[in-house]
């Protein structure tokens, strides 16, 4: 009996040692995997930053070559034009797409150095510029345009500021990009956003913090903060952002520009990378950002065309109604100060009431309503 108890005691000690060793080995494996994963993530981030640096350098070289061969280009004049004035001069051939493109490319490079607003220069735009003459009938012929990082452009990442999305280039252009190209626009740069999008700031571990063009001590807002900074700094005349809870409107406000969030589904979202799957009840929307309202209108006119409706049958085939937009007929407009779930700040509620008063002074009828619950 005594011998049996000694054997059992030895077996318990052996089992305890084996268990301890197994736990230690498991912990070591977890640690090794964690260290390896972090190292791989850092290497991915470094490669992404290197790609950005190389694209910026190649763009700088292209601008320098153009400047040397076209010293008389009046970039100051070009950059001072509104979008409507710019498109008019491009259609009249009083300005060439090359003059406009390189003027904005040069300005973008300068703005990025100050504000860190770009994730990558789309070098394919240099090739598109060579054949842009075939798109002269487009409403945005020859207009360089910036796009938010999460909008698909063939062979380029849509990171959403998240490392796991690096080195997974888009297989094709988003519908928005295809329509812009069809209308003669030249997407030439992708812009920064916050990690995982849903933030009023604009910073991520891949590309860093984007600054405000009016005060670099402050944020440009989010999540379309790169667009807000680049347009507000004068580096882009027109950009495309996305919005679910203010992601176009907040950076537009912070950076002193204009932005428009269409009703979800009014513009195609095919090729717009969401940060998570299964968005059904609250949908994101793509929309334009620019320095003035007229530019937003022109962009919506260009996008709401038969080409978009054929590429994405889920978009209602309703073109932009110029007659309705230009009409001075009084409208009946519904408004609300709260959705019943979350209360606005006093300043926001006051802003709604002030806009209501202005609309009523203009002859419109404002009707309060409560959303369905």
Q: Any idea what the CATH number is for the domain that residue 276 is in?
A: 3.90.1300.10
**335 & 322 share domain:** no
Q: Which of 203, 242, 247, 269 is catalytic?
A: 247
* Residues counted in the chain: 373
pTM: 0.90
**203 & 345 share domain:** no
How far is the C-alpha of 130 from the C-alpha of 127, rounded, in Å?
5
Q: Give the pLDDT of residue 282.
A: 80
Quickly list DSSP for 119-172: EEE-THHHHHHHTGGGGTTSTTTT-EEEEETTB--TTS---TT-GGGTT---SS
How far is the C-alpha of 195 from the C-alpha of 208, rounded, in Å?
10
Through-space distance between the first and last CA atoms of the chain, rounded to whole angstroms: 75
Q: Is residue 225 part of a domain?
A: yes
Q: Give the pLDDT of residue 340.
A: 83
Report which of 228, 225, 226 is spatially closest to residue 289, judged by C-alpha positions. 228
Residue recorded with tokens 């309705």: 324
**139 & 154 share domain:** yes
CB 265 within 8 A of CB 226: no
**124 & 264 share domain:** yes
Q: Is 146 a catalytic residue?
A: no
Q: Enter the tokens of residue 123.
A: 């070098």
Which residues of the chain fall below pLDDT 50? 4-5, 8
**98 & 190 share domain:** yes
- Count CB-CB contacts under 10 A for residue 17: 10
Q: Enter the tokens of residue 183.
A: 């209308």
Domain of 151? 37-327
CB 193 within 8 A of CB 221: no
Domain count, the chain: 2
**218 & 353 share domain:** no
* Strands 186-191 and 144-148, sheet pairing: parallel
**335 & 282 share domain:** no
**47 & 125 share domain:** yes
How far is the C-alpha of 346 from the C-alpha of 348, rounded, in Å?
5
Q: Give the pLDDT of residue 184.
A: 99
**366 & 250 share domain:** no
* DSSP H helix total and E strand total for the chain: 12, 10
**229 & 259 share domain:** yes
Q: Give the pLDDT of residue 277.
A: 74
Phi (first) and psi of residue 63, to 5 degrees: -65, -45
E-only strand ranges, the chain: 118-121, 144-148, 186-191, 203-204, 208-209, 238-243, 258-259, 285-290, 332-335, 365-368
Phi (first) and psi of residue 122, to 5 degrees: -85, 95
The distance of Cα 178 from the centroid of its chain, to the nearest Å, equals 16
For 126, counting Cβ atoms within 10 Å of its Cβ (0-12 exposed, 13-18 middle, 19+ buried), the class is middle
Q: Which of 148, 178, 181, 291 is catalytic?
A: 148
Q: Is residue 347 part of a domain?
A: yes
How far is the C-alpha of 310 from the C-alpha of 62, rounded, in Å?
36
Out of 290, 308, 327, pick the residue that ends a domain: 327
Q: Which of 223, 236, 242, 268 is catalytic?
A: 223
How far is the C-alpha of 253 from the C-alpha of 312, rounded, in Å?
31
Q: Is 137 a catalytic residue?
A: no
Q: Give the pLDDT of residue 22.
A: 67
Q: Is 281 a catalytic residue?
A: no
How far is the C-alpha of 141 from the C-alpha of 83, rounded, in Å?
11
Burial 335-346 (b: 16+ CB within 10 A, else e): eeeeeeeeeeee
Helix (H) or strand (E) segment spanning residue 75: helix 75-80
């Amino acid at each position: 009996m005594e011998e049996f108890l000694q054997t059992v005691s030895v077996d318990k000690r052996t089992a305890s040692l084996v268990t301890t060793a197994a736990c230690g080995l498991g912990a070591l494996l977890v640690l090794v995997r964690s260290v390896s994963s972090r190292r791989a993530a850092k290497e991915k981030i470094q490669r992404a930053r290197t790609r950005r640096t190389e694209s910026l350098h190649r763009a700088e070289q292209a601008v320098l070559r153009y400047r040397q061969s076209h010293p008389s280009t009046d970039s100051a004049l070009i950059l001072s034009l509104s979008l409507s004035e710019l498109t008019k001069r491009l259609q009249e051939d009083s300005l060439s797409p090359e003059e406009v493109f390189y003027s904005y490319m040069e300005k973008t490079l300068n703005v990025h150095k100050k504000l860190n607003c770009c994730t990558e220069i789309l070098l394919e735009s240099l090739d598109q510029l060579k054949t842009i003459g075939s798109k002269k009938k487009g409403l945005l012929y020859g207009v360089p345009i910036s796009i938010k990082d999460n909008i698909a452009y063939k062979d380029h990442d849509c990171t959403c500021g998240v490392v796991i999305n690096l080195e997974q280039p888009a297989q094709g252009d988003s519908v928005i990009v295809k329509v812009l190209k069809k209308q003669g626009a030249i997407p030439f740069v992708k812009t920064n956003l916050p990690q995982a999008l849903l933030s009023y700031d604009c910073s991520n571990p891949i590309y860093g913090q984007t600054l405000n063009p009016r005060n670099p001590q402050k944020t440009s807002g989010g999540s379309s903060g790169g667009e807000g900074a680049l347009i507000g700094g004068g580096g882009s005349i027109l950009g495309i952002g996305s919005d679910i809870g203010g992601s176009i409107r907040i950076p537009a406000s912070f950076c002193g520009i204009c932005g428009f969030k269409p009703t979800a589904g009014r513009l195609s979202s095919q090729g717009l990378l969401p940060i998570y799957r299964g968005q059904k009840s609250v949908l994101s929307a793509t929309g334009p950002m620019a320095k003035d309202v007229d530019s937003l209108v022109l962009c919506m006119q260009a996008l709401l065309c038969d080409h978009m409706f054929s590429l994405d049958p889920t978009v209602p085939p309703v073109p932009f109604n110029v007659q309705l937009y230009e009409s001075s007929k009084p409208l009946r407009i519904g408004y609300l100060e709260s959705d019943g779930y979350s209360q606005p700040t006093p300043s926001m509620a006051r802003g709604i009431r002030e806009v209501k008063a202005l609309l009523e002074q203009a002859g419109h009828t404002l009707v309060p309503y409560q959303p369905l619950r």
